[in-house]
Structure 1
Amino acid sequence: MNFDAVLIPSRRERNVSAGYWRDQTINDALDACLRERPDQLALTAHRVASGEVTRFTYAELARMADRMAVGLHQLGVRAHDVVSCQLPNGWPFTLLYLACARIGAVLNPLMPIFRERELTFMLNHAESRVMVVPQTFRGFGHAAMLQGLRPELPHLQHLLVIGGTESGGTCFEAALTEPAWERDPEAARILSATRPTADDVTQLMYTSGTTGEPKGVMHTANTVSANIHAYAERLHLGADDVILMASPMAHQTGFMYGLMMPIMLGARAVLQDVWDPVLAAQVIRDEGVSFTMASTPFLADLTRVVGDGASQGEAGVPTLKTFLCAGAPIPGPLVEQARATLGAKIVSAWGMTENGAVTLIRPEDADERAVNTDGLPLPGVEIKVVDADGATVPPGETGQLWLRACSNFGGYLKRPHLNGTDADDWFDTGDQARIDAQGYLRITGRSKDVIIRGGENIPVLEVETLLYKHPAVAQAAVVGYPDARLGERACAFVVPRPGQTLSFEDMVAHFKAHKLTTQYIPERLEVLAAMPATPSGKIQKFKLRDQLQAAPTD
């Protein structure tokens, strides 16, 4: 594979001299842990369905990484080859990345919910040589699906199946984890010959697809490590922390902060393959978890479970210091309730697959900052909000968000024309935002989410925030649809809470009770059983627009 990571060379001198790019890879971090803390527990992986728990010390982690790396080499994997996986959170995921890094291969994580359409596109676009899947996960036969797709995947040489091969392919354990490949006479040469530099592409991750066809985001060790160091420093995380990751590691959140960050800090990682808030609360207590990151529904679930347990006299989660929430604004009442129930600081953040976390509040900030903002830029990140002509707008005004970051990606695979980065390395995020006088960011929506009704911009985020305040609403999204007279009108999509209903008249009365300008009230309401969403939980508004086009209003 020839990776066209064209955004790396022009930024190198500036980021190295500033100290953001340290020219260290995950290999360097793992080797340091092996020297300094070989017997320390490094990884604990919980499988919810079976109750199985697997643990690795750093010595065991390094040995298995070497074993699997040599095993991949024996399968013909070489530097710059793409190894894809569709795995839940667990030790095979972590070890597969570490093994790829040992020999310079590129890991391409794919969300377990992807099916034939997405996988065919992504595996062919990436020219993946190896695909690793579970035999089954959550009742679905991943191995059988991939076996059926193989005639459409000309680049795929090996299908490795964890937990059996009834549906074809090669047994993952027999190929990679059971043979003592690290004792092979050629092991030392294999493990040293093609170790990647910090500017080589190490991760290929596809965008979640909020706007249509996914794009392959290329990252190097320098781009991801620059972000992780700044993130950990902002949150005061270190080797003594225990980090729980129940968000998918096939998403940037789980990958960077659940897989990579613990090793870079010499800390402990605790993985959970399926979200179960009751188990998560117990895991936090049993493992002494101090930090976790997930989306708002995870926070709401954990708060409810711990609160219910407290009313029954159960222990809380006293070791949990910080819960970082990203992906959507955090409702104020939830922050207050979570703070009181969990005893943890609730931190808001915003980021992208292309950059990792870009902004987050400081632990020292007032709790209201987590409700009203998405935080301050991390070190090495600059942000600006511009108007349609590219001029920076005053504080508090909404416009297009651009950023320039040490963690900005290397480009989109095979699509450099879509990189959205100018000659001065400013990246167009595609988001609308505002920055207050203190420098705190607030995302107000995607550029395509802007609704212009009769020449007036409708503040989509404000309308959605009011909808969330209705007691019958669990999820809400507002999108525009064409109108011959006004240009656009607004439609509200809602998912009601269990046992609740919402009529159009109820919605209008709710908005009027909150004194919303009449011109901002959506002219249409659609009630759904579930929102179309990305694997990370982001609502796919383009699909909502498609629904409106398929069933136009009178």
Structure 2
Amino acid sequence: MPHMFDQHLDRNPANFAPLSPLGFLERTAEVYPDRPAIVHGELRQTWGQTYARCRQLASSLNRAGIAKNHTVAALLPNTPPMVEAHFGVPMAGAVLNAINTRLEPETIAFMLDHGEARAIIVDPEFTGTLAKALAWRKSAAPLLVLEVQDAVYGPAVQNLGGTDYDAFVAAGDAQHTWELPADEWDAIALNYTSGTTGNPKGVVYHHRGAATNAISNVLEWDMPKHAVYLWTLPMFHCNGWCFPWTVAARAGVNVCLRRVEAQAIFDAMRQHGVTHYCGAPIVHGMLVNAPDAMKAGVPAGIKAMVAGAAPPASMIEGMEKMGFDLTHVYGLTEVYGPATVCAKHGAWDDLDIGERARLNARQGVRYHLERDVRVLDPATLQPVPQDGETMGEIMFKGNIVMKGYLKNPKATDEAFAGGWFHSGDLAVQYPDGYIKIKDRSKDIIISGGENISSIEVEDVLYRHPAVLAAAVVARPDPKWGETPCAFVELKAGATLTPEDIVAHCKQHLAGFKVPRAVVFGELPKTSTGKIQKFELRKQAGSAEAIDV
């Protein structure tokens, strides 16, 4: 017989509603309809207006035959239509595929075909790219092209003969009756990983995960009502780490930014009173290294979030000098962006910069609403000792994990083997539970039977005052099998020789870890600022060795 707590206490519409970030917009528009929601050039749009436009977008999409589980792509920079797409598309029941605007047309064509896009919203700057992508498509399925006009940019690169986006939105019903997903497990977004080989994989997010990660962002940052968020992080990257939904939950302000340039960022901070922004290390480094005159008058206490690589001591120190508070987070596309945080402790403030940098360089602990993050032995799925030395693989479990890879059951099964999401990142766990990445599995350098962590060598390289960016990969060696090859980008005006780099590394590393080859030049990076190590591996084979 069922237990008393299982009798006549069923779930029903009165006591259960699916979790979805769409409710954040609805509530904010009801409570703060006249508060600013979006700033872009001369545009000032309130939350009431934004909600109405999102309902109109959903209405017009439905009238165009786009409904549940249909894909709507977006080839947009950080502009108002991209914010609106994060709500209007799922309000239509559809799935948003925000495409990296810096990809080559062939890859965009693959994504449109693989994701079976029914419509695409395109910015005037990228109409030429889309025209080429459309020519590369293999699918003959029709695609509704919605062309955005943006006075901040100017005339479109190319006229595609599509439908004007604003006219399409205006034709919709501002009182459109939209519904929450019937199941919070329904898909809300499709994001393609920038794979190093082969076609990218389509990562599918659900409404529950989007809502829980958005709220985790609020909790971790202690994000107040009406925060002013500057869009330095691309919204096509993990849906902007879920911050379009986070900002809506806090009735904040989306300060749009077409280009990530130091002058534009500092100007926006001064003009709009920015309180929060996110970015890869390259973005923060650009601000730290900007001329002092450019930083004058910037508000104190701005909160910054960094992911993609551990912040070196020079960055932390530079951010502190500007009065910025830096939070280090870690994640992957498959976990909605940030899913762990290096949660800081008050006692750390009394430590010297070197020790603070060491502690802050760790990827930290699980996000508030993530069920679990552990460093496990990939063979046994047992936790490794929390000794800060034994390496295992970072694995995730919980609501902030993707549904899986679109049309790729083999990759999905492999990623979820044993009931955990396998990140592919190798790490150690310290006695306090904090995690620190040591390497990607494929980036471990095995030299003479000894494992070398490329990140350990990179950390040393970043300590050199003339180094702006650095990456270390394995270089084939006839004697040792592999040796470290360092690629170094110097700060403006700096000059170094390979011997200088080697001498610096010898002061901090065991001999077998010192790079045997050093290459100077600008490092290849993804659109989100991550260094493309797979490109460097191609070059490493021809790099000249140094006798160390």
Shorter-chain TM-score category? 0.7 to 0.9
d(CA) in 1 for partners of 2:21 and 2:392?
Answer: 37
Q: Return closer, same or farther for 1:203/1:291 CA change in 2, 3 Å cut-off.
A: same
How many corresponding residue pairs? 512
SS at match of 1:508: helix
Gaps spanning 5+ residues in structure 2: where?
1-10, 150-154, 350-355
Choose from 534, 538, 545 the match for 1:542: 534
> 5 Å matches for 1:210-221?
210=196, 213-221=199-207
CA distance in 2, matches of 1:442, 1:538: 18
Please list, as runs of the form range in 1=range in 2, the aligned pairs for 1:428-507 lying within 5 A after superposition: 428-507=422-501
For 1:399 and 1:303, the matched residues in 2 are separated by 34
- The residue that corresponds to 1:231 in the other structure is 217
1:315 and 2:297 correspond: yes
Q: Does 1:416 align with 2:409?
A: yes
Equivalent of residue 504 in structure 2, options 502, 505, 510: 510
User: C-alpha displacement at 1:552, in angstroms?
Assistant: 9.1
Match of 1:142 in 2: 129
The alpha-carbon deviation at position 265 of structure 1 amounts to: 2.3
Decide which of 132, 157, 161 is 1:169's aligned counterpart: 161
TM-score by length of 2: 0.86
Hey, what does 1:285 align to over in structure 2?
270
What one-letter code is carried by the residue in structure 2 that aligns with 1:495? E
Alpha-carbon offset, residue 249 of structure 1 = 0.6
Residue type matched to 1:443 in 2? I
Moved more, 485-494 or 402-411: 485-494
Gaps of 5+ in 1: 1-15, 46-51
SS at match of 1:438: coil
User: Shift of residue 158 of structure 1?
Assistant: 1.7
CA distance in 2, matches of 1:331, 1:255: 22
Q: Does 1:121 align with 2:110?
A: yes
The question of 1:96 aligning with 2:89 is answered no
Give CA deviations for 1:94-136 in whole Å, capped at 9, x if unaligned.
1122111111000000111012121122111111111221222
Residue matched to 2:339:
358
Q: Which amino acid aligns with 1:227?
A: N
Residues 1:253 and 1:473: Cα distance change in structure 2 (over 3 Å): farther
Change (3 A) 1:475 1:302: closer
Over 3 Å counting, the alpha-carbon distance change for 1:210 and 1:497 in structure 2 is: farther
Which residue in the other structure is 1:200 paired with? 186
Query: Does residue 182 of structure 1 match 2:206?
Result: no
| Residues 381, 306 of structure 1: alpha-carbon distance in 2 compared, 3 angstrom cutoff | farther
In structure 2, give the amino acid aligned to 1:325: V
**Pairing partner for 1:333 from 294, 314, 320:** 314
In structure 2, C-alpha distance between the alignment counterparts of 1:22 and 1:339, rounded to whole Å: 43
> Which residue does 2:25 correspond to in 1?
30
Contact 1:210 1:538 in 2 (8 A): no
Is 1:523–2:516 an aligned residue pair? Answer: yes
1:507 Cα shift?
A: 2.1
Match of 2:327 in 1: 347
Deviation of 1:266 after TM superposition, in Å, equals 2.4
* 1:404–1:425 CA contact under 8 A, matched in 2: yes
Structure 1 residue 364 displacement after superposition: 4.4
Tell me the alpha carbon deviations over residues 437-462 of structure 1, each in whole angstroms, 9 at most, x when there is no partner: 11112112211000111110012111
CA positional deviation for 1:247 = 1.2
Cα contact 2:393–2:427 (8 A) shared by 1: yes
| Separation (CA, whole Å) in 1 of partners of 2:466 and 2:213 | 39
Aligned: 1:269 with 2:262: no
Any idea what SS the aligned residue of 2:268 has?
helix
8 Å Cα contact 1:212-1:542 kept in structure 2: no
Give the SS at the match of 1:208.
Answer: coil
RMSD: 2.6
Partner of 1:12: none
Give 3-state SS (helix, strand or coil) of 1:44's partner: strand
**Residue type matched to 2:209 in 1?**
T
Kept after mapping to 1: 8 A contact 2:18/2:181: no
| Partners of 1:157 and 1:337 in 2: CA distance | 47
In 2, the alpha carbon distance for the partners of 1:200 and 1:267 equals: 27
CA spacing shift, 1:306–1:406, aligned 2, 3 Å: farther
Q: Give identity over the alignment, percent.
A: 29
Instruction: Quote the residue 1:394 is aligned against.
Output: 385
- Name 2:68's counterpart in structure 1: 79
| 1:426 corresponding residue in structure 2 | 420
Within 2, Cα distance between the matches of 1:340 and 1:527?
A: 29
> Which residue of structure 2 aligns with residue 246 of structure 1?
232
Q: Single out whichever of 488-497 and 299-308 deviates more from structure 2.
A: 299-308
Question: Partner letter of residue 394 of structure 1?
Answer: P
Cα distance between partner residues in 2 of 1:38 and 1:223: 26
Change (3 A) 1:291 1:128: same
Q: What does the per-residue CA deviation read over 1:274-326, in whole Å, with 9 as the maximum and x for residues that have no partner? A: 1122222232222222211112222223334483346xxx42312x4411111
Q: How far apart are the structure 1 equivalents of 2:225 and 2:394?
A: 35
Q: Normalization by structure 1: what TM-score?
A: 0.86
Take 1:475 and 1:171, find their aligned partners in 2: how far apart are those partners?
43
1:276 and 1:270 map into 2 onto residues whose CA distance is 14
SS at match of 2:457: helix
**Within 1, Cα distance between the matches of 2:427 and 2:17?**
31
One-letter identity of the residue aligned with 1:226: T
Equivalent of 1:39, from 34, 37, 44? 34
